[in-house]
Structure 1
């Protein structure tokens, strides 16, 4: 039991002191490109990349938030809320455009892969912005 508590505390401390960096983003991108290069299931590669990038966004936001004073936290919250609204609008626009073109394209997951890739790229941009604010 003591070992479990010690491991838990060590994990929390490492998480607090570990800052996400651009190299973490580059690592995700490298894995994504390697997955795509395999040529097996590009949609699943894009979906995994999107999920990981979204998770990284949450981590970076939390790290930045935890290291700010109250005033800057409020500013960050407002900024993030505005970004979320823009993201929702952007994602809806992409989905609508793809659905309009879907009858003109070959059936399959290519359209879904491209949409997911574009959504991940949008999130990636925000992750980089937040990482830059940590510096």
Structure 2
């Protein structure tokens, strides 16, 4: 019984450390992305790298959160994530369609693709932040 009381604060501390570390990771990715853009190189490549990093972080945060939950909360997380994936897919399709419709009106190049990729990465970033917030509850 004594071990249970000692391990409870440790679990809470680990959750807080995990959330803070991952928030720091989000901030670090954002900073690296902004630095890449400010260098004036390929904005599209910067956006692709940021998207890939945010996608990997989202997967890692989801897996870590999933591993810490009991079965009931895991089911809720799975349902929530499945609903989010459906919304994400619809959002990504919509944004791709809008860009394709406007593409003949804009200059050719990677600017449209960069903006789309940036918006998609921001969508993933929002989900990472939501999942991190749920680790505190």
Following TM superposition, the consecutive aligned residue runs of length 4 or more in structure 1 with deviations greater than 2 angstroms are 16-21
1:54 aligns with 2:90: no
Structure 2 counterparts to residues 24-39 of structure 1, below 5 A: 24-39=25-40
User: What whole-Å deviation, never above 9, does each CA across 1:34-86 have from its counterpart, x for those lacking one?
Assistant: 00000110000000000000000000000100000000000000000000000
Aligned-partner Cα distance in 1 for 2:37–2:29: 12
1:23 aligns with 2:27: no
Find the counterpart in structure 1 of residue 105 from structure 2. 104
Measure how far apart 1:21 and its partner are.
2.2
Matched ranges for 1:1-135 at <5 A: 19=18, 20-135=21-136
1:73-116 per-position Cα deviation (integer Å, ceiling 9, x unaligned): 00000000000000000000000000000000000000000000
In structure 2, distance between residues paired with 1:93 and 1:119: 11
Distance, in Å, in 2 between the alignment partners of 1:72 and 1:49 is 30
Alignment partners' CA distance in 2, 1:94 and 1:60:
25
TM-score, structure 2 normalization = 0.85
How much does 1:134 deviate?
1.1
**Structure 2: 5+ residue runs without aligned partners?**
1-13
Equivalenced residue count is 120
- Separation in 1, partners of 2:81, 2:42: 33
TM-score where L is the length of structure 1? 0.86
